[in-house]
Chains A and B, each alone.
Chain A
Amino acid sequence: MSKRALEAPAAPAPASLAEELPAGKAALQLAAIALSLFSFVLWPGLVNVYQISFVFFGLQYVVLASSWNIISGFTGYVSFGHVAFFGIGSYTTAILVAKHGWPWYLTLPLAGLLAVVWAAFIGFPCLRLKGPYFAISMMGLNEVLRVVALSWESLTGGGLGITMPNAENSVSTYYAGLAVAALTVAMCYAIAHSRFGLRLAAIREDETAAEAMGVPTTRYKMYAFMLSAFWPGVIGGIVAYKLLYIEPDSTFFIAITVNMITMAMLGGKGTVLGPVIGAAILYTAQELVWWYIPWLHLIAYGAFIILIVLFVPRGIMGYLIDRGWVAKGVIQ
Chain B
Amino acid sequence: MRAEGAVAGEFILDIQAMTKRFGGVTAVNNCSIRVPRNIVAGLIGPNGSGKTTLFNLLTGLLRSDGGDYFYKGEPMVGLTPHEIFNRGISRTFQIIRVFREMTALENLVAVSRDGDLGGVRRRALELLDFVTLLRLKDEYAGNLSYGQQKLLEFVRALMSDPEVLLLDEPAAGVNRTLLNTLLDRIRQLRGQGKSILIVEHDMKVVMNHCEKIFVLDYGELIAEGLPEEIQRNEQVIEAYFGHK
Answer whether A and B are interacting partners.
yes
Contact (Cβ within 8 A) A209 B102: no
With an 8 Å Cβ cutoff, the count of chain A residues facing the other chain is 39
B218 close to A (CB within 8 Å): no
With an 8 Å Cβ cutoff, the count of chain B residues facing the other chain is 52
* Chain A residues, CB < 8 A from B90: 213
Interface residues of B in 114-167 (CB under 8 A from A): 114, 116-123, 126-127, 129-130, 138-140, 156-158, 160-161
- B104: nearest residue on chain A (CB-CB)? A329
A205 close to B (CB within 8 Å): yes
Task: Assess A199 versus B110: contact at CB under 8 Å? Given A1-B130, A9-B122, A216-B82.
Answer: yes
Task: Assess A209 versus B99: contact at CB under 8 Å? Given A3-B192, A5-B126.
Answer: yes
B93 close to A (CB within 8 Å): yes
B233 close to A (CB within 8 Å): no
A229 close to B (CB within 8 Å): no
When the two chains form the complex, which single residue of B106, B123, B158 contacts A331, counting CB atoms closer than 8 Å?
B106
A51 close to B (CB within 8 Å): no
Interface residues of A in 226-273 (CB under 8 A from B): 270
- A215: nearest residue on chain B (CB-CB)? B82
Most chain B Cβ neighbours within 10 Å, of A210, A211, A213: A213
Task: Assess A198 versus B106: contact at CB under 8 Å? Given A9-B123, A13-B122, A328-B140.
Answer: yes
User: Per-position contact with B for A293-332: 1 when CB-CB < 8 Å, else 0?
Assistant: 0000000000000000000000000000000000111110
Question: Complex Cα distance A252/B214, Å?
Answer: 60
Contact (Cβ within 8 A) B112 A195: yes
Report which B residues bind A (CB closer than 8 A). 59-61, 80-82, 85-86, 90-91, 93, 97-103, 105-107, 109-114, 116-123, 126-127, 129-130, 138-140, 156-158, 160-161, 184-185, 188-189, 192
| 9 A-B pairs whose Cβ atoms sit less than 8 Å apart in the complex | A6-B158, A9-B122, A195-B110, A202-B110, A205-B99, A214-B111, A217-B82, A218-B80, A328-B103
* Nearest-Cβ distance from residue B29 to partner chain A, whole angstroms: 23
Report which A residues bind B (CB closer than 8 A). 1, 3-6, 8-9, 11-17, 195, 198-199, 201-202, 204-206, 208-218, 270, 327-331
* Chain B residues, CB < 8 A from A206: 97-100
Question: Complex Cα distance A83/B112, Å?
Answer: 35
* Nearest-Cβ distance from residue A173 to partner chain B, whole angstroms: 38
* Nearest-Cβ distance from residue A2 to partner chain B, whole angstroms: 8
* Nearest-Cβ distance from residue A331 to partner chain B, whole angstroms: 7
* Nearest-Cβ distance from residue A150 to partner chain B, whole angstroms: 41
Contact (Cβ within 8 A) A17 B113: no
Contact (Cβ within 8 A) B156 A213: yes
Question: Complex Cα distance A6/B110, Å?
Answer: 17
- A212: nearest residue on chain B (CB-CB)? B81
Contact (Cβ within 8 A) B100 A214: no
* Nearest-Cβ distance from residue B121 to partner chain A, whole angstroms: 6
- A199: nearest residue on chain B (CB-CB)? B110
Contact (Cβ within 8 A) A15 B100: no
